[in-house]
């Protein structure tokens, strides 16, 4: 286990960084701006337009909080992820934000971790929040053809999408499926926790949505296993709305009636499965450049201030 895998270490690093003098953040700001001149401008513009869709100007909502008054309420990692970039803005600059897994749409543009893919979602501005939990990758040395011909999943099953899946497939011969962390452990589908390393022994990883997006989707798409899931309904900074069935993942019906068929098909058609995995890796690669990720976080907040008419909002 790496030190960064321990919550308390991340807390110390995050809160400790907040105490650094302005000269430190000025140095980081200059590094981010220097990279802007070198980056792929098409990738930058495309992703920025995806995250903050609204183009019309609007007044700063009364619910917005100024940088000066921004304090930790709930969600420590949400707080630290936004605070990391608020250092680059003047104390009187204000942003409306919402921490947590909720995906409702506010009547005013608001920074969210996730939003519905379809419908009028313009007021939900995507920001890279809770990234320590969601943006994890794996190094997978096992090739797809060398893995077990089985679908694997472990997780909480509070929502119908997951509950129905677990009850239907917990003892299926093509599945290693189990629910974890529940008060009553006498149900037969309650199984022990499996690490990411143990998941990587299987050809197929199930990636079901929960409160919003599937937490395991990012690291699963960085593996040499094939992601199976119903068509996603929510999206985050990972741009799940751009994922294409049969290109980046294997889509199964919401009632899972074709799950067995899909497992058997891609077990036999290895080259097709490997091509989908290759495309998944290409998508993942878009989010693995820290310089670009930092620049985009800054640009989303900068665009927010521009649209709200907050002039000269940047600190440096």
**Which pLDDT band, with edges at 50, 70 and 90, does 283 fall under?**
very high
Q: pLDDT confidence of 110, banded at 50, 70, 90? A: very high
204 vs 16, which has greater pLDDT? Answer: 204
Report residue 133's pLDDT band, with 50, 70 and 90 as the boundaries.
Answer: confident
pLDDT score, position 185: 66
pLDDT digits (tens, 9 = 90+) for 171-206: 999 999 999 876 656 788 888 899 999 999 999 999
* Residues whose CB is less than 8 angstroms from the CB of residue 143 and which lie 6 or more positions away in sequence, other chains included: 224
CA dist 189 → 74, 157, 162, 205, 229 (Å): 32, 10, 12, 17, 19
Question: What is the structure's pLDDT at 3?
Answer: 45
Share of the chain above pLDDT 70, in %: 97
Is the pLDDT assigned to residue 301 strictly greater than 90? yes
Q: What is the pTM of this model?
A: 0.93
Alpha-carbon torsion, ordered 223, 147, 163, 101, to 10 deg: -10
Higher-confidence position of 263 and 180: 263
Per-residue pLDDT reduced to its tens digit, 214-245: 999 999 999 999 999 999 999 999 999 999 99
Q: Which CATH architecture has domain 144-285?
A: 3-Layer(aba) Sandwich (3.40)
**What would the DSSP string read from start to end of 136-196?**
------S-GGGSEEEEEEEE---SHHHHHHHHHHTT-TTEEEEE-S-S---STTB-----H
Taking 90 as the threshold, does the pLDDT of residue 156 lie above it? no
The pLDDT of 26-46, averaged and rounded, is 97
Q: What's the chain's average pLDDT?
A: 93
pLDDT at 118: 96
For the segment 37-42, the average pLDDT, to the nearest whole number, is 96
- Domain limits of the chain? 3-133+290-307, 144-285
Task: Please answer whether residues 152 and 206 qualify as being in contact, where contact means their C-beta atoms are separated by less than 8 angstroms.
Answer: yes
Residue 1 reports pLDDT greater than 60: no
Q: Where is average pLDDT lowest: 9-23, 52-66, 140-154?
A: 9-23
């Amino acid at each position: 286990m790496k030190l960064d895998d321990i919550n308390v270490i991340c807390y110390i690093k995050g809160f400790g960084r907040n105490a650094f003098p302005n000269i430190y953040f000025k140095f980081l700001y200059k590094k981010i701006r220097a990279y802007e001149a070198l980056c792929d401008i098409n990738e930058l513009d495309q992703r920025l337009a995806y995250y903050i869709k609204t183009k019309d100007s609007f007044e700063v909502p009364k619910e917005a909080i100024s940088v000066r008054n921004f304090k930790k309420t709930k969600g420590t990692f949400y707080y630290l992820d936004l605070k990391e970039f608020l250092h680059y803005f003047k104390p009187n600059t204000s942003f409306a934000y919402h921490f947590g897994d909720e995906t409702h749409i506010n009547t005013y543009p608001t920074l969210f971790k996730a939003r519905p893919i379809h419908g009028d979602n313009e007021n939900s501005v995507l920001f890279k929040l809770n990234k320590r939990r969601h943006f994890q990758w794996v190094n997978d040395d096992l090739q797809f053809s060398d893995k077990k011909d089985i679908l694997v999943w472990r997780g909480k099953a509070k929502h119908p999408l997951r509950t129905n899946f677990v009850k239907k497939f917990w003892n299926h011969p093509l599945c290693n499926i189990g629910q974890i962390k529940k008060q009553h452990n006498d149900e037969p589908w309650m199984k022990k926790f499996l690490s990411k390393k143990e998941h990587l022994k299987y050809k197929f990883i199930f990636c079901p949505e929960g409160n919003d997006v599937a937490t395991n989707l990012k690291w699963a798409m960085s593996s040499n296993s094939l992601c199976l899931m119903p068509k996603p309904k929510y999206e985050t900074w990972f741009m799940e709305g751009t994922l294409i069935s049969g290109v980046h993942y294997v889509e199964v019906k919401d009632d899972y009636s074709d799950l067995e068929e899909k497992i058997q098909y891609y077990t036999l058609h290895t080259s097709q499965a490997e091509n989908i995995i290759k495309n998944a890796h290409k998508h993942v690669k878009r989010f693995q450049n820290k310089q670009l990720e930092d620049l985009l976080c800054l640009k989303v907040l900068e665009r927010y201030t521009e649209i709200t008419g907050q002039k000269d909002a940047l600190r440096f």
